[in-house]
Amino acid sequence: MANDEQVAILKKGVKAWNAWRGENISVRPNLVDAKLRGANLVGANLRDANLTRADLTGAHLLQADLNRAILIEADLGAAILSGSILIGADLARAKLPGAQLWGANLTYAKLPGAILPGANLMNAILVETDLSGADLTGGRIYGVSAWGLKLERSKQENLVITQAGTPEITVDNIEVAQFIYLMLHNQKIRDVIDTITSKAVLILGRFTDERKAVLDALREELRKRNYLPIMFDFNVPATRDITETISLLARMARFVVVDITDAKSVPMELIEIVPHLPSVPVQPLLLEGSAEYDMFEHLTRYPWVLKTYVYPSPEGLIANLAERVIGPAERYVGPSR
């Protein structure tokens, strides 16, 4: 329970409270379960205070100092926290529906399981903020600075990325909100994306010295032909992170060229790419005299996996690049992409 004497001082007003804090700098305020509904706490020094389960519904905490404050399960519904400092604060399972957090600093703050539907987070600083399991539905996030967030199991639906008073645009992921906004409002970024998707070619294969020489030559020749070759050197054991990165690159590519000669990690990458990207043709290459890896035939049932070009030598591959590699891929893509 709260320290009744400390609660009484706080209810006298911010001036009295801040004076008491200045005289008792070693005391950590105990405001557990305090009833502070609608309280005027503008500019209050609540640094390190324990406000667990406190009722702060509709409280005015504009520019309050809540550094490292404990607000576990506190009720902050419709509270005004604009410009407040919540660095390192613990708001686990706190209730913040409709809270005003405009410009609040939530760096390193902990909000696992917090309830924030309809909260205004415009221009808030969210650096290394823990929002795992939090409900952010319908929050306003225009201008948010979001870096290194923890978002596992969080609910991110209908997040508004536009300013109040303008037509609403919503996304379902706070980390991609800035990118989507820039893409919609910046012609240069749209031009960059158009260039990538119309020119990028993802090159896959084995990155031993012998095989990489072939891929390097292929990359150089594609570059000469005004393509944007992307070669992801993963001469390491394939992991989920690597295959997901390759899948992302494939989604940006016009087509994929894959040398399946002496394949090692390529099968995993193709399994990640092929079944899900019917608009991205895959042109397999195989050195003459080599055999396709086991199970490759199962991928050939997808029509966007083109007929394997069996090339006689690296020089032969480059000489026939236009006819046997680029040509079939471009015919599949067509002029619409």
pLDDT at 116: 97
Q: Which CATH number fits domain 192-333: 3.30.70.1140, 3.20.20.140, 3.40.50.10140, 3.40.80.10?
A: 3.40.50.10140
Residue (of 128, 132, 127, 103) closest to 116 by Cα position: 132
Tens-place pLDDT, residues 181-214? 777 777 666 676 676 678 889 998 877 777 788 8
Residues 231 and 222: their CA atoms lie apart, in Å, by 11
β-partners of residue 256 are: 202, 282
Which CATH code is given to the segment(s) 1-185?
2.160.20.80
Sign of the Cα pseudo-torsion (73, 57, 159, 140, in order): negative
Render pLDDT for 112-168 as a digit per residue (tens, 0 to 9): 999 999 999 999 999 999 999 999 999 999 999 999 999 999 999 999 998 888 888
Q: What percent of the chain has pLDDT over 70?
A: 93
Report the chain's mean pLDDT, rounded to a whole number. 90
Every domain of the chain and the residues it spans: 1-185, 192-333
Q: 111 is written with which tokens?
A: 């909000």
Query: In this predicted model, what pLDDT tens digit does every residue of 54-111 receive, in sequence order?
Result: 999 999 999 999 999 999 999 999 999 999 999 999 999 999 999 999 999 999 999 9
